[in-house]
Amino acid sequence: MDYKTIRTIVAMSKSNAKPCDIAEEEYRLRIDNPATYCSGIIFDAHEIFAMCVTDLVTHMNDIANTEKAVEKAWSRLPRFAQREYLMQLIAKEVQNTNIIEGVHSTRKELSKALDAASGQNKHTRFSEFTKLFLELADSKEKSVAESVADSVADLNVKSVEKSSVKSAADSNESSTSIPQTLQDIRKIYDSIMHDELESGDTPDGEIFRSGKVSIRDGANNVVHDGDATEAEIQDHLAQMLSLMNSNEVPTLIKACMCHYVFESVHPFYDGNGRTGRFLLALQLHEQLSMPTILSLSSIIYAEKSGYYAAFSKSQELFNCNDLTMFCCTMLKYIKKAQNEVFNNIVLQLKQIIYCMNKLFKFSKKTAISKVQYEVMTILLQNKLFSYNPTPMTRKQLSEYVGNAIAEQVGERKIVSALNGLIELGMVDSIGERPIRYELSKKANEMFA
């Protein structure tokens, strides 16, 4: 990229003017340029902005095109596999976000958090943070329901029917919508940090912290001091909310800008990284798929030195809040996340297609029933896609098989199907109260 930071322009200048005056003149030229996206957010008397340079446009175009490929590949996965793969991505998102913040989380803890978030267990560590991402994923499906309601309304169906469908779609609005107020940000933070805060880290201001904090990089070096007072915090975050809810800046650029602002302000003593990345996910959700969004933290973790360097360079003396390079860096990370998740989905597709071909041949040879075929399919997807594959109960299998074949599968029918598969040596039963089921060694060898 040929684009030069204001600091670089100052260093290259042969003018006898003071460096601060040279920087101010260049800042004015850039902020007044018609190709500049202004944020309305003021730090140290300079408005945050990004110029619409070639690289920025190219990155956004590449992201839009790649997203089509991601969504096409994603749509080819079976519905149950999509759900289990999303849960796997959510667990990795939470884990990587924790690692970036220096928070240790085990696979067992994350498995419990997934179970609790999906309603299968009581609250546990990280379950509220996990639940937010799960609700964000579910809101995508609810928005489809809302679109259907709008289409129905266009066909002159009674508005009351539209309202009833919309009410279901809006049930999680508070946790999956762009925050409107400072209190909304605090509510999100409270959900993320539920039972996670040390006593001394609880926000002690009106909404946020009243004391001072410093932002540290992966090597624990101080790279920036957060806003000094709660008044500053509230002022900057109010400006950030205004940008979040504005349509004057492209979604991807304003999401990068707002992420920079939140992390720079650092409104809390602890949990700023986790909260900031969830707010980033909320904004990216407007244009990107959940698989892409949930793959971003792993890229940020892998590129953490570049991630922290992007913040530091933007905050260097004389750069005057020019976020052009920062936005380019963040868009590069989004592109990497897309490529990573696309390659993973393609690999998963190859696996499931291979295994389903094996299952189809087996079903023809043994003439297993429709319910038995779907039981095998669900158990196979559970093995391939689940974050922590575990044997499944009759109740779970009845529900999932029923959804797959669009009919109710009762206790007698599922027991009969499972007993038949056990006789064929394809399924094993484990334990009791409740009995759980998984693919047998023979079945695993067939799918190997």
pLDDT for the residue numbered 412? 93
How far apart, in Å, are the Cα atoms of 273 and each of 94, 105, 321?
11, 15, 21
Residue whose tokens read 């540290």: 216
pLDDT for the residue numbered 159? 36
pLDDT tens by residue, the chain, 448 residues: 689 999 999 999 999 999 999 999 999 999 999 999 999 999 999 999 999 999 999 999 999 999 999 999 999 999 889 999 999 999 988 888 888 877 888 888 888 888 888 876 678 888 888 889 989 988 865 554 444 445 444 434 433 333 333 333 344 445 678 999 999 999 999 999 988 888 889 999 999 999 999 877 667 777 788 999 999 999 999 999 999 999 999 999 999 999 999 999 999 999 998 999 999 999 999 999 999 999 999 999 999 899 989 999 999 989 999 999 999 999 999 999 999 999 999 999 999 999 999 999 999 999 999 999 999 999 999 999 998 888 999 999 999 999 988 899 999 999 999 999 999 999 999 988 889 999 999 999 999 8
**Alpha helices, H only, 215-323:** 230-244, 251-265, 272-284, 290-293, 296-302, 304-314
Q: What is the DSSP letter of 215?
A: E
Q: Fill in the amino acid letter for 434.
A: P
pLDDT for the residue numbered 123? 80
| Measured distance CA(295)–CA(317) in Å, rounded | 33
How far apart, in Å, are the Cα atoms of 179 and each of 22, 174, 175, 189, 296?
38, 8, 8, 11, 21
pLDDT for the residue numbered 140? 62
How far from the centroid of its chain's Cα atoms is residue 190's Cα?
18
Residue 42 phi/psi, 5-degree rounding, is -105, 120
| Measured distance CA(125)–CA(279) in Å, rounded | 20
SS3 214: strand
Find out whether 135 and 173 touch, Cβ atoms under 8 Å. Answer: no
How far apart, in Å, are the Cα atoms of 319 and each of 19, 28, 312, 385?
11, 12, 11, 46
pLDDT for the residue numbered 149? 45
Find out whether 190 and 182 touch, Cβ atoms under 8 Å. Answer: no
pLDDT for the residue numbered 200? 87
The answer for residues whose C-beta is within 8 angstroms of residue 204's C-beta and 6 or more apart is 210, 211
SS3 213: coil
Residue 327, judged by CB atoms within 10 A of its CB (0-12, 13-18, 19+), counts as buried
| Measured distance CA(43)–CA(237) in Å, rounded | 11
Q: What is the DSSP letter of 297?
A: H
Neighbours of 260 (CB within 10 A): 27
Q: What angle do CA 365, 366, 370 make, to 5 degrees?
A: 110
Of 190, 195, 259, 216, which is closest to residue 39 (Cα–Cα)?
259
Find out whether 100 and 301 touch, Cβ atoms under 8 Å. Answer: yes
pLDDT for the residue numbered 6? 96
Q: Per the omega criterion (within 30 degrees of 0), is the bond before 434 cis?
A: yes
pLDDT for the residue numbered 119? 78
Find out whether 275 and 317 touch, Cβ atoms under 8 Å. Answer: no
H/E element holding 429? Answer: strand 427-430
What is the rounded (10 degree) CA torsion for 65, 305, 257, 96? Answer: 70
